[in-house]
Structure 1
Amino acid sequence: MSDTKKSISQDRKRTNVLHTQELALIAYLVERMPRWVTSNMLTTIGLCGNLLVALFMLLGALTGESWWLLLTPLGFAINWFGDSLDGRLAYYRGKPRKWFGFCLDIVVDWIGIVAIGLGYYSYVAPEWKLVGFIFVALYGAEMIISQLRYKVTDRYSIDSGLLGPTEVRIILALLFSSEYFFPGSIQWIGLAISVVLLIAFLTDFAGLLALANERDAAARLEQKEKHSSES
């Protein structure tokens, strides 16, 4: 692995399908990023990408024209660019703000997901609006799981098995843009994605509890050995 790849991936473990190709692309981009571009600028760009997705869906709802949703992949691409490079650029330049960046990213990502959920809510038929709420709730639950896993294991992972934020962006981009070609598909596929998120959440939660139980057992053993050495 090149020095650049090592420097930008040192703080997290990736398990998603596209992690090798994604890491190579991020390394290529951070090496060529203009000096005037900062991590905070990239975080803002990432948020704007999600807001654009929400805006395109809102425009589709207001105008009744589904072709607006063909533009949503552009918003997801902009979000990937900003969200994937902000922290990696800081590590590449040797100026990471680990905890500041961690807190900022979580809140900004949540704002972006809520915005997309609202865009979905505005676009779909009334009887499907609950799906938008369920999607936001389950995505938020997965974000909570990732933070709890970080607390328990001291290793930060943003992936759920083979799926990570990049794969989710691609799936959502295909889902939203397919509405132009297959009217009404956004509703059924949105429901399917919510089911997948529910399964992922339950699986990750069970795994998290197992890890937490192991850490508790290790802590009890350590405490027992400490008492034995003192007596």
Structure 2
Amino acid sequence: MADTKQAISQDRKRTNILHNKELALIAYLVERMPRWVTSNMLTSLGLCGNLFVALAMLLGALYHDSTWLLLTPVGFAINWFGDSLDGRLAYYRNRPRKWFGFCLDIVVDWIGIVAIGLGYYSYVQPGWKLIGFIFVALYGGEMIISQLRYKVTDKYSIDSGLLGPTEVRIILASLFCLDYFVPGSIHWIGLGVSFVLLVAFVSDFFKLLDSANERDAALRGEQQAKEN
């Protein structure tokens, strides 16, 4: 198990709360994954999970029934399974396609977030629909920050402090379900989540600028050393 954990986590730095338990679960699952299951199949499954979340919200809007939102945790669980295991399975089998998988994951994740945003847009009342757009824009901004951080620091991290994609899935699933028990809460929840994303985006952006300044200073030092 220890060797598996090392193999599947060698390419990224994680800081999220659930990292250790999540890594142990992923290691357990990849060791038992049938040989006919491929990384691309898992990537597709992860996208289907996000589309399932969007579909549940669309059905909730169509039938004016928040009961459909109780299905969103199923979609998020499917998404976690596919999205968390696709690249890890490739590393475990020693057949990674680092850059192909990197590009594919980013685009597929973006499509999934847009789908969930559209689901939210269709479900909420007219006066709150803008929040769906803001959520997609800010989450997309966080994705951009993670890619820029990779370019500047050469270290790939998909977390924002103690929160990573897994924690975000759990939070969103819980809050979507809450609308069934507290009708209308999804509107204020969407506003709150968007505010948290805004704070995270601004904080991560300035941290990124600090890292970029440090790298520029290091490059200038190297250049001056060469000239001398």
* Alignment TM class, shorter chain as reference: over 0.9
Does 2:225 align with 1:191?
no
TM-score under structure 1 length normalisation? 0.98
Match of 2:208 in 1: 208
Give SS of 1:161's match. Answer: coil
Distance 1:168 1:205 in 2: 19
Partner residue of 1:134?
A: 134
Q: Which residue of 2 aligns with 1:38?
A: 38
Shift of 1:119: 0.0
2:15 paired residue number? 15
Q: Partner letter of residue 47 of structure 2?
A: L
Residue aligning to 1:48: 48
Q: C-alpha separation between the residues in 1 aligned to 2:54 and 2:176?
A: 11
CA distance in 1 between counterparts of 2:63 and 2:37 reads 36
Taking only the aligned residue pairs, the percentage that are identical comes to 81
Match of 2:158, SS state, is: coil
How many corresponding residue pairs?
228
Matched with 1:163 is 163
Q: Which runs of 5+ in 2 are unaligned?
A: none
Deviations 1:87-109 (A, max 9, x none): 00000000000000000000000
For residue 120 of structure 2, give the secondary structure of its aligned residue in structure 1: helix
Deviations 1:105-132 (A, max 9, x none): 0000000000000000000000000000
CA distance in 2, matches of 1:49, 1:177: 16
Per-residue deviation at 1:143? 0.1
Which residue identity does 2:143 align to in structure 1?
Answer: M
Give the distance between the partners of 1:185 and 1:21, measured in 2 at CA: 31
Residue 48 of structure 1 deviates from its aligned partner by 0.1
- Could you tell me which residue of structure 2 aligns to residue 66 of structure 1? 66
How far does residue 165 in structure 1 lie from its aligned partner after superposition?
A: 0.2
CA distance in 2, matches of 1:190, 1:163: 17
Q: Which amino acid aligns with 1:13?
A: K
Distance 1:45 1:179 in 2: 26
Structure 1 SS opposite 2:208: helix
Structure 1: distance between partners of 2:129 and 2:28 = 41
Distance in 2 (CA, whole Å) between partners of 1:189 and 1:124 is: 11
- Which secondary structure state, in structure 1, belongs to the residue aligned with residue 163 of structure 2? coil
CA distance in 2, matches of 1:106, 1:128: 28
- Could you tell me how far apart the structure 1 residues matched to 2:48 and 2:39 are? 14
The match for 1:27 is 27
CA distance in 2, matches of 1:104, 1:118: 21
Measured after TM superposition, the shift of residue 64 of structure 1 is 0.5
Calculate the TM-score normalised by the size of structure 2: 0.99
Report the counterpart of residue 224 of structure 1 in structure 2. Answer: 224
Inter-partner Cα distance in structure 2 for 1:55 and 1:124 = 14
Instruction: Give the equivalent residue in structure 2 for 1:122.
Output: 122
Following the alignment from structure 2 to structure 1, what is the Cα–Cα distance between the partners of residues 21 and 139?
A: 24
Give the distance between the partners of 2:136 and 2:187, measured in 1 at CA: 15
Alpha-carbon RMSD across the aligned residues, in angstroms, is 0.6
Aligned residue type for 1:20: N
Distance (whole Å) between structure 1 residues aligned to residue 78 and residue 112 of structure 2: 12
Alignment of 1:73-88 (within 5 A): 73-88=73-88
